[in-house]
Structure 1
Amino acid sequence: MNKKLLLIIILIGLNSCAQVKKSELNYKIITTDIDNFWNAYDALEGSQDSIQTFQNLYIDKASPEFEKFLELRNFTAKQYVNWIKGAPEFWKTIRPLTLEVKNKKKEIDSIYFKMDEYYPNFKAPNICFAISPIQSGGTTDKGLILIGTEIATVNPQKVEISEINGFMKKVFENSTGDIKSLVAHELVHTQQPNGDNENESLLSQAITEGSADFIATLLLEKQSMNAAIFRYGQKNEEKLWLEFKYDVETEKTFEETDWFYNYNSKRPADLGYYIGYKIAESYYENSDNKKEAIKDIINMNEPKEFLEKSSYDKSF
């Protein structure tokens, strides 16, 4: 057989294999709930019963994936209506950004294919973009990614956030509207054995969350962690580690520390993400086989053993 012809046949075969591999990443990106939200939003103007209108046109029309979101977070029509009336400029300015998500498929595909390349056991989850009552940016449930698009897309330079109060305003002030980073983070959670569990020990929670940020950084080939957290962490790394180590060794609970979800702290909230990130990074950098390291990081289920193998503590 002619050598050139043989080479062409081989290349076609390899390309076909690649196409089969990609076709195995069968997953859905659900955005119908975004459209349903704005239909309900527009209908409020002439409505005699705002809560019932929102119930009928948004919640009752929920996709099966959004139904799971509703079940997990207990969103109600009354919550939506109260927020819409209380922050009209926010909703006006966030609207175009939420609608743009429907054009992000290629960007999201690139993350999924990269994950499949790095992690052979990858199972592609469906992803549902809906609108929450400004309560939940992103979560996962049994291989499903659920995104509160009105939170995920906020960029304070494009969105009016002056009507927002409390810890959510602090969240928004540091937001960039980077959908890809959030999807990459949540994508890792869908692969982790503890990814859906929000009641882990302090050390386990830190490694689980920080690992998701670390692998997301590999997927995106750029820093995925909140910039304020990362900057503060880099400047105060040893001090933070010694404080965190003490809290772990004395078995302090979440309520007794401010490593997670404490937006009233004087320093950046969620520094537990940074600690977990650095532990995962240390494990990865000290491993000869990077692909196996990624597998180990994702499947971490013995946090103390993982910390020891990472040698992170020894770096100080």
Structure 2
Amino acid sequence: MKYIFLFAALLFGAQPSYAQQKPEVVIATDITNFWNAYDKITATKDSTQQLNYLNQLFINKGTPGLKAMMQVRNYTAKQYIDAINRYPLFWNSIRTNTLKAKAFASDIAINVSKLRKLYPQLKPAQVYFTMGILRSGGTTLNNNVLVGSEISMTDEYTVTSEFPDNYKNLGNFFKTNPIKSLVFTNVHEYVHTQQKSTQINTLLGQCIMEGVAEFMAVKATGQASPTFAMFKSNINTQRLKQVFARQLLNSINYGYWLYNDEQNEFNERDLGYYVGYLICQNYYNKVKDKQQAIKQMIELDYNNDADLLAFVDQSEYFNQKSSALKSQYEVSRPAVAGIKPFKNGANDVNPATTQITIEFSTGMNKRSRNFELGPLGMDNLMRVQRFIGFSDDGKQMTIEVELKPNRRYQLLLGPRFMNKDGVSINPYLIDFTTAGQ
């Protein structure tokens, strides 16, 4: 049966100005299709037949939401088959919950309607209950809310005994009974469809973007945030503020603030949501016109540093102006002090050189690094044949290379090179030319 639940009566019945717009819908056919395919797939050991069932009964029949989720998370048919075969106890333990999608449709509609009262400019979006492969409980693409039902509709009884060690965070998350927060999660994701972007250039911008969605979900639903690491009594908020201020303008590298389980002094993941929420809460409480405050938060360009920092200053969350924090951040950034056995920019490097050592101004995080192409692209890339490692104090890093004569080489050290406090380097270009034979 195709689950399509129109929101028109709830969301538009009392608002004639929306009469000509396409009504929001919750679409859950991907869940039904998945289980139809699952039953066929698990009834055979023939890998070719398994792929055929998956494609015919699930992917080819998939909603735009499923296709969007596969695009955003880079899911492939083979990955689905591998997950189905590896985790049978897990899949069987979530089946009943995922088939409850129909029961949540009206509650989602009611709370989206509440969101519209807070933000009358709310644009229509569609909510898709999809089935993924354990890499997203919820995300968005354009005006689509994409629910990863295999994560968002779990509970404390979900079986995780088959999972590898790197999925440990999922087990902890399932114990919080995510299905009980499903409506809240959808409102959070719905807010993302209204924002200018969800791919932000700085840690501060990304945290505020998430914080706005969390804050608005709290205001619309009237519920306390269920997001992991939110409102924990063991978090020293003043210390949290101090530590975050040292890293707020990091680009790309989100450290332990968002989307990962990297160890930190607070022993909590995703604290960036909490910091972003607190900034928004401060701002909202200080502005007299609450509806204008909401409009400002949702429509803020989180990639515009000037606007973003002005917003933070208005919130008065930090004890200093953002200009001072920015200056302190730049001063605190680690730097590349030099390279050995030659100077960067040299034109006569011995092509027999097989190791290069990069020296840093301070001890670096030994687990984090990234190499990128230089401006001249692939043709001039100095390939890292082997990463030898950091020195004990983290101030030197050695790589193994293979060079040819009369060649110009480039390699860019990216922002995932960071010090022990999680502060990134400015990208550093290694650029040199080898001598002739």
TM range (shorter): 0.7 to 0.9
For 1:180, the equivalent position in structure 2 comes to 183
In structure 2, distance between residues paired with 1:94 and 1:161:
11
For 2:14, the equivalent position in structure 1 comes to 18
In structure 1, distance between residues paired with 2:260 and 2:43:
40
| Aligned positions, number | 295
In structure 2, distance between residues paired with 1:138 and 1:46:
30
Cα deviation digits, residues 107-158 of structure 1 (max 9, x gap): 11111100111101101200111100111111111111111101111112x2
In structure 1, distance between residues paired with 2:31 and 2:190:
20
Residues 106, 315 of structure 1: alpha-carbon distance in 2 compared, 3 angstrom cutoff: farther
For 1:221, the equivalent position in structure 2 comes to 222
Taking every aligned residue pair, what percent have the same amino acid on both sides? 32
For 1:28, the equivalent position in structure 2 comes to 25
- Structure 2 unaligned residues grouped into runs of 5+: 1-11, 302-306, 322-437
Cα deviation digits, residues 16-62 of structure 1 (max 9, x gap): 97263675671121101111100000011333321222122111111
In structure 2, distance between residues paired with 1:311 and 1:88:
50
Task: Give the CA deviation at 1:225.
Answer: 3.9
> Is the contact made by 1:229 and 1:268 (CA closer than 8 Å) also made in structure 2?
no
1:272 aligns with 2:272: yes
In structure 2, distance between residues paired with 1:270 and 1:128:
24
**3-state secondary structure, aligned to 1:231:** coil
For the aligned residue pairs, the C-alpha RMSD in angstroms reads 2.2
Residues 259, 149 of structure 1: alpha-carbon distance in 2 compared, 3 angstrom cutoff: same
Letter in 1 for 2:229: A
For 1:201, the equivalent position in structure 2 comes to 202
In structure 1, distance between residues paired with 2:215 and 2:170:
20
In structure 1, distance between residues paired with 2:318 and 2:80:
46
Letter in 2 for 1:304: L
**3-state secondary structure, aligned to 2:232:** helix
Residues 274, 85 of structure 1: alpha-carbon distance in 2 compared, 3 angstrom cutoff: same
For 1:282, the equivalent position in structure 2 comes to 282
For 1:306, the equivalent position in structure 2 comes to 311
For 2:359, the equivalent position in structure 1 comes to none
For 2:161, the equivalent position in structure 1 comes to 162
Moved more, 30-39 or 40-49: 40-49
**3-state secondary structure, aligned to 1:18:** coil
Cα deviation digits, residues 69-124 of structure 1 (max 9, x gap): 22222211211111111111111110111110122111111111001111011012
For 1:43, the equivalent position in structure 2 comes to 40
1:102 aligns with 2:102: yes
> Is the contact made by 2:22 and 2:124 (CA closer than 8 Å) also made in structure 1?
yes
Higher Cα radius of gyration: 2
Task: Give the CA deviation at 1:167.
Answer: 4.4
In structure 2, distance between residues paired with 1:229 and 1:137:
17
For 2:57, the equivalent position in structure 1 comes to 57
> Is the contact made by 2:201 and 2:252 (CA closer than 8 Å) also made in structure 1?
no
Task: Give the CA deviation at 1:164.
Answer: 2.2
Task: Give the CA deviation at 1:64.
Answer: 2.3
**3-state secondary structure, aligned to 1:128:** strand
Task: Give the CA deviation at 1:227.
Answer: 4.8
Task: Give the CA deviation at 1:222.
Answer: 1.3
- Structure 1 unaligned residues grouped into runs of 5+: 1-15
Residues 280, 263 of structure 1: alpha-carbon distance in 2 compared, 3 angstrom cutoff: same
**3-state secondary structure, aligned to 2:230:** helix
Letter in 1 for 2:24: Y
TM-score of the pair, normalised by structure 1:
0.87
**3-state secondary structure, aligned to 2:246:** helix
Higher strand share: 2
Higher helix share: 1
Task: Give the CA deviation at 1:200.
Answer: 2.4
Letter in 2 for 1:207: I
TM-score of the pair, normalised by structure 2:
0.64
Residues 71, 50 of structure 1: alpha-carbon distance in 2 compared, 3 angstrom cutoff: same
